[in-house]
Each structure stands twice: as structure tokens, then as C-alpha cells.
Amino acid sequence: MRSPRTRPAAVLLLASALAAFGLGPAATPAAAATVPVGNGGYSDTRPAGTSGPTTNTGTPVTPKVTSAARNRPVPTNDWWSSLAFQRYGDNPWSTPMYGHPLTYQATAGGLDVGYPTSPAIVGDGRQYEYAHKRDLTIGLTGLNSPDTKADDWSDWTVTPLWSDGTRTLRTTIGHGSPFVYAKGTGGNAQITTAGAPTVFADQGNVLGITVAGHHYALFAPSGSDWNVSGSTVTAGLGGKDYFSVAVLPSTGALSTFAKYAFSFVTDSKATWSYSGGTVRATYTLTTEAKEGSERGTLQALYRHQWLNTSDALTSYSYVSPRGTMKVREGASFSTSQKASAVLPALPKSSGVDAARLRGYLNDVVNASDPFSGASDTYWTGKALGRLAQLVPVAEQIGETGIRDRMLNLMKGKLQDWFTAGGANEFSYDKDWKTLTGYPASYGSDTELNDHHFHYGYYVYAAAIVAQYDPAWAADSAWGGMVKTLVRDTANPSRTDSAFPFLRGFDVYAGHSWASGHQGFAAGNNQESSSESTNLSAALVLWGSATGDTSLRDLGTFLLTTESEAIAQYWFDADEQVFPSSFGHDTAGMVWGSGAAYATWWTANPEEIHGINVLPVTGGSLHLGGEKAAIRRNIAEMERENGGPAVEWRDILWEFQSFADPASAKSKWDAGNGGYTPEEGESKAHTYHWISTLDTLGAPDASVTGDIPTSAVFTKGSTRTYVAHNHGSSARTVTFSDGKTLSVPARSTASGTGAGSEDPDPDPDPEDPPTGNVFQLRGGGVLTTSTGGTAGSDTIPSAGGTNHDGTPYQPLVYEARGVNGTLTSGAGTTFRLQVDAGTTVGLGQQARISYDLTGDGTFDRTETYNYFATDPVTGWEEYSQARGLRSSTGTLGNLKGGTVRLEVWSAIGNGSSKLQTGTDKSVVVIPFS
């Protein structure tokens, strides 16, 4: 919930949202015993005078689950956590839960359901929210349950249970589900609406109603009949125990939804894999046919999902706080993304003055207290993180003595925490099945907040130690405790009886949640998304350093997935998520109901803009994938701040360096001498970071290496390829543009790369590989040849009319006689450089078509959402990330086929330019 610099004040206005922080007397602990783990261990009992999970008044609480779920680890920090964590003593049901598109709240009479479609701007314009508002309640006649408990759950679905001694109701709800699946005994199905419903379809056991402008379908067992009496709708179940309710995208969708009304979801599961620079994930629902044999279903995909899937989607969509959700007909779908880069540190470069850096390093290592008095898990973690960033930097300039002193400081502090019985330790709570560090902070004990924020720093520091001292990281030494922290925060196992699966990471929402109780009217929340990805990057480095490819790949999946969610939901990179009435270019925190331009502890713009950047590490490089959003972000910060950053200038300089390294360097040069570093930063790291990126250029997310610990940087027309090899033997890293890099064992290497088609090093990193990467050339040519002359073609104006989806005076580029084998699971990608000058809102649009056999008939056509330009200087990049607007046909192997690109102006009243002759404007087809 929090990632604060100081104890937070309530600066965010939420409708009845903020919890109090009152703590009652701690329970008297039993005699503690140490659970040994390698050379360390943890306690099985909290330290004297401390608390575990409590209500807001300090009363100890245990998980609110049924007997069937009593022995299962509860996934706290989820979108539905208030079902299991009774934060408020007078609410034994739940607070609002945001499944999207539906919202829910458990009450004595059943499940309140809503579908908020209009945002409200609250908190002096600082927050937008699609707040839960009841449209109807799903229950049973006479149901009056004293509480609601979690009875079952899976990766993104949950089954709450109500029982009043006579009647029992279970419902299954989940992210992306337009259905609520209900099972009830002891009463008839009862739907109570917020106002008298309008019936638009009555088919006996199928009833279509409209409530508050939203369309719902009610499904009772065959042979039953719905009866409408005012605001109460009932149906006998005819000896059955099931019924369902769905929110419809339109009244015309009723028949499609009726097809799946009795295909009840019983499980949800995400699987992932990493290979060759690509992360693939599959999201699968398991269903049970209550009637008939239909086992399919409907599920709504979030923006971060449908932007990265090639699976067919229907024309149906829903409104949500995360932008448009698009509906998939089927029990599963898959996504594919380029893996986010992770490095232990930026590489050595000529832009760093060794003597100057040495002085900054000595300032850190010679400080009277390198840990700045930190005592709790959060502040100790930040101090560990500050040192961890400098260890590889010291080695780069030959300062092995400084390196080793820092390593020893980190080892000592980690070992202190990893040993039970001292002033600080980790303790296991057998009821909540969680590991809590004491002294705790910011509700990490009483509210189970922020474990991923705090412990990510420990895992990251341990990963750097493991890079230099593998013996220290052995399970029999201190690695076992590192893995125990991983099990608490990001456990990949669904069968571990001691810790829940991925405690804080919501695999369907695409990001983590920070609050352990979710006891807010606005749902759950996450402020510092960057501290969440810090844990993911730490998993990549730890897994790479220790040879645990499973943890490495988990970290890559988490980081890559969350990086897309951050771009869309925190930074609104495509400007398709935030309501236009919100008026901000970034969110300090994301809520289930929306997002807020705020932090938990201050309204200072510098910290609102910086909290989703820190800590800046080699795991932050994914931020460089959205350069236009960074520029908007920095510009807004300076407007709101009345000028450049003052307090967190180092964090914001580093943020700017992801898009404009030269601008960041000029700010460092002008102000580096007279500022106090942010608590997790140092002048040594900031100087090294900004000077290195000024030399190498900003991160280039369009190219990936075939190991997670690799990255690419581009300055002008020069690319620099970087990789760290944790292995014990040298290896060659191959990048997606065909370049290769030889990396010695246990080392970082960098260079301009060797071409895969040429055994000799090629000093020109601009050449794309032959085969499936096509450059644009003047005259309407697509070619795999390199070495073209940079130029541009003019995209005619749309003439002030709308041509969205239909080519209008398009530029046409073709490649003929193309042969290729379709790559399973892959999709078309492209990057097109466009320039509209200072004109806003010219909408360039692309369509890519495949004639598989060259017979003149296009077998597959893909039309992408148009790109609305910004008034920025120079070229802007339009890519497939804008999303697929429509598609026809299917792909197959190419045999003498034709690939065609069409680009036109969909909207606007002015011409623009399309870059040709460079590898910055290319189409990449999914063929080998």
C-alpha cells in the first residue's frame, strides 16, 4: 500500500476510504523457537511487544475462510483480499472489490454487483474513479448471512460463501469475467435490483433486464421461470442448485452469452515461458458444464493483454478504469512480449571520469553509518539497495577494495536479518502463512502491506552478493533465507503449504497490489510500481547468479508483464486509459476503481512523479520503452512544480535519461554539487548512470537479447549491445536484430555487435537481419536489404473527415516473392517513424496484408488502431502496441507470397511524413 519516505499523511481524498492506524495491545507471545534455514533461520513467534494482522482498532484477526480452505495459504494483497481480511470489525462481509468489468461487494443478503461506466473526478481533480455502485444483488430468498468467507480461489477468481444456517450461497467471480456463477441451497434464486428493471427479453429461464442503463442477463436452470415483482426478480431452481448472471455489452449479445451461461468457471491459471528474448503467457479457465456440453466461456482482456495477443477477439467490449476491455470467446488466450531487459549495472563507458567516480564511491563506503540509522525492513532494504548498485560500478574502475568493503557491509546486514533472535529478525505467522520482518514498518505487520516492496531490496542485494560469492548464496549457507523471502513475496508454487502463490502479484491485472487487507472503498492499490518491479528484476538476477532458471524466468515474466501494465495504467503511454477529464499525464498510485495523482505521504509533484521510478537500477530499463510518455511526464512535473526538480532531482534526472540522456546530463552538470541524494540514491550511482547513458544513448526496447540479462542502447545511428554472463564459461548472446556479442564468463561485455550474417564484426549497428525484417524504401518498396538512404514520404491529409479503418490515399509498400514458415504464437510487429511537425491529433493508420501464394488475393489483413500525434519535435514512433483494430483471414506459410503495408491519415486536416530508408521504419513478419 505504501512506499513512503516518511510516515504518510492522508493527502488523498477517497469516499470513505482511508483506514485508521490504531494499534491495540499486542498478544503475549509464546516462547519463540528458531526454524533453521542454512546458516540462518527465522522465528516461529513474533518478538515481544509486536503485532501481527489486526483490525483497524487493533484486534488480532485470522483469515476469514471456510473450513474447506482453512489449511490453504491465503493470497493476501489481492483484488479480493477484504473477503479474507476483516480490517473493520463492523464489516464481516467485504469492502468493494473491483473485478473489471464488474464490481462487487459482499453483504448480508448476498453479492452486490455493479458495472461503473462513467468516471468521476474527485480529490480536487487529483483522482479519477469508476466507483462501485450497486446495480443489483445476487442472493437467495430470505438470505441473511452474518458474514462472508472465502471458500475457494485460483489465480484470478474467488468463490465467496454465505450461510445463515438455513441457506447457503456460493458465487464465483473474477477478473475479466462478465459472468457471476452462483450455487445456492435453501431458497430460490433472487436478484434484487437498485431500481425497477426494464425487461428487454423474457425467454422463461433466460431474462434480459436493464438496470441503471446497464444490461444484464439472468440464467436459471432449464424449466425454471423468472418472476419480476417491482425490484425483486426470483426463480425457482427446480431441484437444481445453480444459476448465473452476466453483464452484457449490448442487448444484442444475449444469445451469445446464453450459450455459455451454464459453463461454470471452476479454476483460473496462468502459465508462462521465456525463450530467446520473448515472454509468452497463457491464461486458461477451467469450466464445468452444468447443462449441456458447452465448456467454452467469455472473458474480457485488459488493454495490456489485448495489445499483446494475436488470438481472435470478438467485437464486444467493456468500459473499465484500465481503458477498453475486449472480449475473447474461448477458455484461454495467449500473449507474447519482448522480454524487459535487466542488467546488474550499466556498463563501463568512456563518459565516466574514474577519479570523480572514485571520490563519490569513497563518500559512500567511508560514511560513519552506511545504513543511515535504518532499523526496519523498508529503510534497511533501501540502504542495501543503495550499496548493491555501486558494487559493479566500483569494479568497473578497478576499485576492488571498495567493491569488497561494500559486499561485506551487505553480507553483514543480510546475515543479521537472516538470523533469528537479535534486534531484527524475520518471524513466521502460521495463521496468515507469511514471513514478517521486525522491526516492521508501514503496516507490513498489522496490515500485511508492502512485503514485495521491502523484501525486493534484500533479494536484489543478495543477487549482487551471489554474483561475486556463489558460496555465500548456496542454500546451505544464506541462499535458503533469500529463497524464503521469495516464497513469501513471489512464490511460483501453487502447492506450497507454507506460502501462497504469488502473494502480491495479480497475474490477470498484470501488476502487484500493495495493501494486505484491501479495506478501502476504492479497492486495492499500488503506489510504487517501480519498487514492485525491483523485486522482479531481483529474481532475474538471483536466478541468473545461482543457476535457478525457473526463478529467473519467473522474474522475467513478472517484470515484462508489469512493465506493460505500468506503461498503460500508471503513465498512460498510449493516452487511451486516463479519462480526458482527469487532466494528468501520470498517476502516483493505481486503485481498483481508478488512479490518483497523489502519494500516501505528500502532494509534492516531484515525489508523485518519482515514486514510480525509484529505485533506478539495471532492472528499470523497461521505462525507456515509452519515451514520449516520459517527456510528457517530466513536462507535467515541471509545470506542477513551478520549475525543475529540487528535492528528488537525482531520481527525476535519471528518469529523464531514459528518453533524453543529453538533457539529463545537462541538468546534472548544472546542479550536481549542491543537492542531497534521495535516500536510496548516491551521487556515485547518479553520476555513473547519467554519464553512461549520455555516452551510450537511451535504452532501446525494440531489440532484445536471448538472455534476460542483456540490453541495447541507441544514440543517433549507433546501437550499443550489452550483456552480463553469470555463467562459468564464455557465451555468445544473439540479439533480435541479428547482432551478436561475445561475453566472457562472469562478466559484462558491451560493443556495437557482430552481424549474424557476417562472421566479422560490423561497426554499423543499424543493419537489420535479412529474412523477416523489411525496411521501407521510397517508391513503395519493402526490402530486407540494408544500407538505404534516409528519406521520407508524405502521408496525404485525411481532409478533415474520418477514415478510421478504411485506407484513404494510402502510401503502399510491397515485397513480392516472399517465402517463409509461420512462427507459431508470433504476430506481426512494426515500428514506423512519423512526423506531424507541431500538429496535434493527426491519426496515421497502418494496414498489413498477406497474400500467402502471390495469386493476387490477400489471405490475411490486419488493421491497427491509428496513432494520434503529439506536438513534439522530430520523429514519433508508431508501433503495433497501439493495438489491432480489426483483422480478417488467417496466416499460413508464405510461398512466393506478397507482403503489403498501407499507411494513410485516418483523421486530421494536415499531411505528415513517414520515414524511409532506415531500420527505424520496419515491418517484422512472423515468419522464419
**Residues with catalytic annotation?**
450, 527, 531
Pick from 114, 118, 96: which is nearest to 582 by CA?
Answer: 118
What is the C-alpha to C-alpha distance for residues 868 and 844, in angstroms, rounded to an integer?
Answer: 7
The contacts of residue 574 (CB under 8 Å, 6+ apart) are: 567, 568, 881, 882, 883
- Is there a contact between 505 and 68 (Cβ–Cβ < 8 Å)? no
What is the C-alpha to C-alpha distance for residues 780 and 750, in angstroms, rounded to an integer?
Answer: 37
Pick from 874, 852, 860: which is nearest to 920 by CA?
Answer: 874
What is the C-alpha to C-alpha distance for residues 762 and 919, in angstroms, rounded to an integer?
Answer: 15
What is the C-alpha to C-alpha distance for residues 527 and 531, in angstroms, rounded to an integer?
Answer: 9
Full DSSP string of 762-802? -S-TTPPPTTTEEEEETTTEEES---PPPEEEEEPP-TTS-
- Is there a contact between 914 and 776 (Cβ–Cβ < 8 Å)? yes
Task: Read off the C-alpha cell for 397.
Answer: 574502475
Phi, psi of 202 (to 5 degrees): -130, 105
Full DSSP string of 518-558? --STT--EES-HHHHHHHHHHHHHHHHHHT-HHHHHHHHHH
What is the C-alpha to C-alpha distance for residues 177 and 162, in angstroms, rounded to an integer?
Answer: 21
* Location of C-alpha cell 489486526: 54
Q: Give the pairing of strands 710-715 and 698-699.
A: antiparallel
- Is there a contact between 507 and 494 (Cβ–Cβ < 8 Å)? no
Task: Read off the C-alpha cell for 135.
Answer: 446495480
3-state secondary structure of 251: helix
What is the C-alpha to C-alpha distance for residues 278 and 826, in angstroms, rounded to an integer?
Answer: 10
Full DSSP string of 290-357? SSSS----EEEEPHHHHTT--S---S-EE--TTS-EEEEESSEEEEEEEPPP--SSPPP-TTS-HHHH
* Location of C-alpha cell 533506478: 616
**Side chain identity at residue 400, one-letter code:** T
What is the C-alpha to C-alpha distance for residues 35 and 43, in angstroms, rounded to an integer?
Answer: 6
Pick from 283, 320, 282, 316: which is nearest to 303 by CA?
Answer: 320
Between CA 636 and CA 642, with CA 639 as vertex, the angle to 5 degrees is: 145
Q: Give the pairing of strands 214-219 and 206-211.
A: antiparallel
